[in-house]
C-alpha cells in the first residue's frame, strides 16, 4: 500500500505511524509529495494537500496521510474520497513556547504565529501583545525564536510531541478558552477505501463534529475560528483578527445533535455578521 504525504519532518513522522499500524515497511510504502504550500504558493489550506490529492485521484498512491486540521471542509473533498481520523488523537491544545504563562509575558512582547485564530485569541486576552507573523515548519519557527525574531511562540502541542520537542513547551493553553483549530492533534487518512483497523472511533467522531460546525458556518481560512470536541463538550470560538470582538460557546456533547445545537446558538448570537466582518478585516490587513 502506498501512503502519500508531505516531506516535512512532522508529516513523515505521522506517515510512519500509519505505516507501522498497517504492518510496517513490508505492508506499506511512504511516497513523499511536494505540495503547493511547500513551494510557497499562497492561498487557503488546501495548498498543503492539493498535489497529494492529485496523486490519489491518479492512483499513484492508495491513501493520503494528513494533519486533520489541514483538510478543507467535507464539501471540498475530491469526488469518491472519504476521510477518517486514525490512530487516536494527540493533545489538541495550543502550546506557548518561550514563557511559563501568558501572564509572564511583558507588555508589548512579540508573540509569533501565522494563525489568524491564534492571533485573535491572543489579542482577546492580552490586547497589549505584539503578534507577529511567523511562518515555517516547527524547527524553523523554534530557530527564529532562538534568534530573537520574537519573544514567544504559539504552536500545536501535538506537533511538538510527535517530533520529540515536548521539552520546549512552557505552558499548555486551556482548550475551552484558546479553542484549537478543527482537527488539531488528529491524524486523518483520505482515500477511496480506508482500512477500518486504522480508524479511531472517538477521534473520528470528534473530528466529524468539529468539521460539521465549520462547514455549517461556512467558515474559511480568512476567519479566526476554533472548534474542539474534548469528549465532554463541543467548544467554539469565532473572533475578529484584532481580538476586538469574539464569540465563545460550549455545548455538552451528550448526544449526536451537539454540533447542530452549537451552530444554532452561535447563529442566534450573530455569528454570521461576525464572520463577515472578520473576513473583511483579514482581507484588509
Say which CATH number the domain at 112 has. 3.40.190.10
Considering the domain boundaries, does residue 240 fall inside one?
no
Considering the domain boundaries, does residue 136 fall inside one?
yes
**Tens-digit pLDDT profile for the chain (285 aa)?**
999 999 999 999 999 999 999 999 999 999 999 888 778 776 666 777 889 999 999 999 999 999 999 887 766 778 889 999 999 999 999 999 999 999 999 999 999 998 999 999 999 999 999 999 998 889 999 999 999 999 999 999 999 999 999 999 999 999 989 999 999 999 999 999 999 999 999 999 999 999 999 999 998 877 899 999 998 999 999 999 999 999 999 999 777 899 999 999 999 999 999 999 999 998 887
How many folded domains does the chain comprise?
A: 1
Considering the domain boundaries, does residue 168 fall inside one?
yes
In b/e form, how buried is each residue of 57-94, taking b as 16+ CB within 10 angstroms?
eeeebbbbbbbbbbbbbeeeeeeeeebbbbbebbbbbb
Catalytic-role residue among 50, 70, 91, 204: 70
Per-residue cell: 125: 486576552
What domain range includes position 109?
A: 94-172
Residue 70 known to be catalytic = yes
In b/e form, how buried is each residue of 224-242, taking b as 16+ CB within 10 angstroms?
bbbbbbbeebbbbbbbbbb
Considering the domain boundaries, does residue 256 fall inside one?
no
Considering the domain boundaries, does residue 116 fall inside one?
yes
Considering the domain boundaries, does residue 107 fall inside one?
yes
Considering the domain boundaries, does residue 237 fall inside one?
no
Considering the domain boundaries, does residue 232 fall inside one?
no
CB contact at 8 A, 56 and 4 = yes
Amino acid at each position: 500500500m502506498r501512503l502519500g504525504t508531505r516531506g516535512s519532518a512532522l508529516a513523515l513522522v505521522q506517515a510512519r505511524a500509519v505505516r507501522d499500524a498497517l504492518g510496517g515497511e513490508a505492508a506499506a510504502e511512504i511516497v513523499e509529495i511536494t505540495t503547493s504550500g511547500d513551494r510557497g504558493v499562497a492561498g487557503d489550506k488546501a495548498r498543503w494537500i492539493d498535489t497529494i490529492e492529485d496523486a490519489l485521484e491518479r492512483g499513484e498512491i492508495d491513501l493520503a496521510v494528513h494533519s486533520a486540521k489541514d483538510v478543507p471542509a467535507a464539501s471540498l473533498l475530491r469526488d469518491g474520497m472519504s476521510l477518517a481520523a486514525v490512530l487516536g488523537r494527540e493533545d489538541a491544545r495550543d502550546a506557548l513556547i518561550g514563557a511559563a504563562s501568558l501572564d509572564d509575558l511583558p507588555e508589548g512582547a512579540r508573540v509569533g504565529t501565522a494563525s489568524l485564530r491564534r492571533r485573535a485569541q491572543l489579542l482577546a486576552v492580552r490586547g497589549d501583545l505584539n503578534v507577529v507573523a511567523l511562518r515555517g515548519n516547527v524547527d524553523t519557527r523554534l530557530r527564529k525564536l532562538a534568534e530573537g525574531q520574537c519573544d514567544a511562540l504559539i504552536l500545536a502541542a501535538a506537533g511538538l510531541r510527535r517530533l520529540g520537542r515536548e521539552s520546549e513547551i512552557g505552558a499548555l493553553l486551556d482548550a475551552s478558552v484558546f479553542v484549537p483549530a478543527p482537527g488539531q492533534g488528529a491524524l486523518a487518512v483520505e482515500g477511496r477505501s480506508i482500512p477500518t483497523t486504522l480508524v479511531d472511533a472517538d477521534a473520528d467522531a470528534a473530528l466529524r463534529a468539529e468539521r460539521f460546525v465549520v462547514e455549517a458556518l461556512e467558515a474559511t481560512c480568512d476567519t479566526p475560528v476554533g472548534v474542539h470536541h474534548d469528549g465532554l463538550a463541543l467548544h467554539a470560538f469565532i473572533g475578529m483578527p484584532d481580538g476586538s470582538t469574539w464569540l465563545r460557546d460550549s455545548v455538552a456533547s451528550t448526544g449526536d445533535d451537539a454540533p447542530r445545537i452549537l451552530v444554532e446558538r452561535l447563529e442566534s448570537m450573530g455569528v454570521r455578521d461576525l464572520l463577515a466582518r472578520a473576513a473583511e478585516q483579514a482581507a484588509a490587513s
